[in-house]
Amino acid sequence: MEYPNLLPRFLKYVKVNSRSDEHSDRFPSTEREENFQKNVIMKDLEDLGLSDIHYNQKAGSVIAEIPSNVDYDVPVMGFLAHSDTADFNSENVKPQIHENYDGKSKIQLGDSEFYLDPKVFPHLKNYKGQTIITASGDTLLGGDDKCGVSELITFAEYLMNHPEVKHGKIRLAFTPDEEIGTGAEHFDVKDFGADFAFTVDGEAPGKLDWGTFSAAQFSLDIQGVNVHPAVAKGQMINAVQVGIDFHNQLPEHDRPEHTDGREGFFHLMSFNGTVDNAHLDYIIRDFERDGLEERKNLVKSIVDKMNAEFGTERIKLKMWDQYYNMADELKKHMDIVDLARDAYKAEGLKINEDPVRGGTDGSQLTYMGLPCPNIFAGEENMHGRYEYTVLESMYKAVDVMIQMAELNAERAK
């Protein structure tokens, strides 16, 4: 089905800079996120006539309700989308609309030197005859997750205008700071009031995510000894070299650029330093909790061995868990996954349940007592200038949510 307000709504949203900031010490991490939520999203929800629209300051989230239109109890279903965008230029986004794509040509990003090339991005070939939306080459698009934000509000608009579609109470949330991994930990599950939920933050139509990595992060602070290189023998300890020596003791294959499928990895995110001191940031990923612990223990053992060789704690390690594979919990709630599967099938979609090589807000929410798989939103090539979405994919996401609302009510009879 086509939804005439979806595209203009999406174009309006992506032009608003709502990028989060991992270096901020406020919550939500940026004022611009909060302004987008309060001044744009809330106003649009109010214009649609939804109920219980409010901003939960503790959660940094806009909450709203689509009232039930049936006279019997239905489990309360929720949908969430995050309002922030990723760590790439988000100022002055100029969305470009490419109608009736031929499935084979390069797509120029605005007037820039950059192109979407189907030889580089073969998924483009799946969208022959459809409408591709890109940015202009110097910013991201922001479809992650303004696709989801636009779809949720379009879904609400449709249900409010079509009372013949029978459904129970549905709760909506628009959350902050997903891109920096800190938004979900503040989420107010009680205020949200759903029995289960779905994040709308996935890729191509048919993608259904209920398994993710388990994740940890660690940092190393290395104190070196800086002396003049002319007299360095036996005295200098080059902190940069110590960082290199540490890194070279991790399994060479277990890096993102060498792994796929269910393979985990160690990922060096940043390395800054001088002879005197150095700082390294890593993330660790594994689909199995035991595998995550083994990787964490390997890091600890390398640090301990190197410090023993130095005879002092020259390398200081900080390590913490980020989230766990939500499949371990969602296996107890497969009726929720089945609800999404049945909606996908009703819309003629081929279901792709490959586990996510990453995490979603649902990873944390599921362990907070809100079972929360992730459904597709039509985002492609996220987090950079090559990001795009497909209008027909966004339509299909709304179709699926409507199906889910109807199925959830039917099953409660």
Q: Domain locations in the chain?
A: 6-211+325-411, 214-323
Q: Name the H helices within 229-288.
A: 239-247
**CATH topology for 214-323?**
Alpha-Beta Plaits (3.30.70)
pTM: 0.89
Which residues carry out catalysis? 84, 178
Distant-in-sequence, close-in-space partners of 114: CB < 8 Å, separation ≥ 6: 108, 137, 385, 386
Mapped onto helix, strand or coil, the DSSP state of residue 301 is: helix
Task: Pull the structure tokens for residue 22.
Answer: 């991992």
> What are residue 105's phi and psi, to 5 degrees?
-85, 155
Predicted pLDDT at 355? 87
Query: Residues 173, 55: contact at Cβ < 8 Å?
Result: no
- Rg of the chain over Cα atoms, rounded to whole angstroms, equals 23
- The reply to whether 186 sits in an annotated binding site is no
Mapped onto helix, strand or coil, the DSSP state of residue 390 is: strand
Residues in the chain: 413
Taking the chain (413 residues) in runs of 10, the rounded mean pLDDT of each run is 97 97 94 97 97 97 98 98 95 96 96 95 96 96 96 98 98 96 93 98 95 95 96 96 98 96 96 98 96 98 98 97 92 96 98 88 93 96 95 98 98 93
Residue with tokens 């993710």: 212
Domains 6-211+325-411 and 214-323 share a fold: no
Predicted pLDDT at 356? 86
d(CA 145, CA 176): 11
- The reply to whether 290 sits in an annotated binding site is no
- The reply to whether 383 sits in an annotated binding site is yes
Predicted pLDDT at 181? 85
Distant-in-sequence, close-in-space partners of 70: CB < 8 Å, separation ≥ 6: 166, 167, 168, 409
Distant-in-sequence, close-in-space partners of 412: CB < 8 Å, separation ≥ 6: 72, 73, 74, 75, 168
| Type of residue found at 385 | R
Predicted pLDDT at 259? 96
- The reply to whether 201 sits in an annotated binding site is yes
Mapped onto helix, strand or coil, the DSSP state of residue 281 is: strand
> What are residue 180's phi and psi, to 5 degrees?
-105, 5
- The reply to whether 276 sits in an annotated binding site is no
d(CA 202, CA 351): 13
Check if CATH label 3.40.630.10 holds for domain 6-211+325-411: yes
Mapped onto helix, strand or coil, the DSSP state of residue 220 is: strand
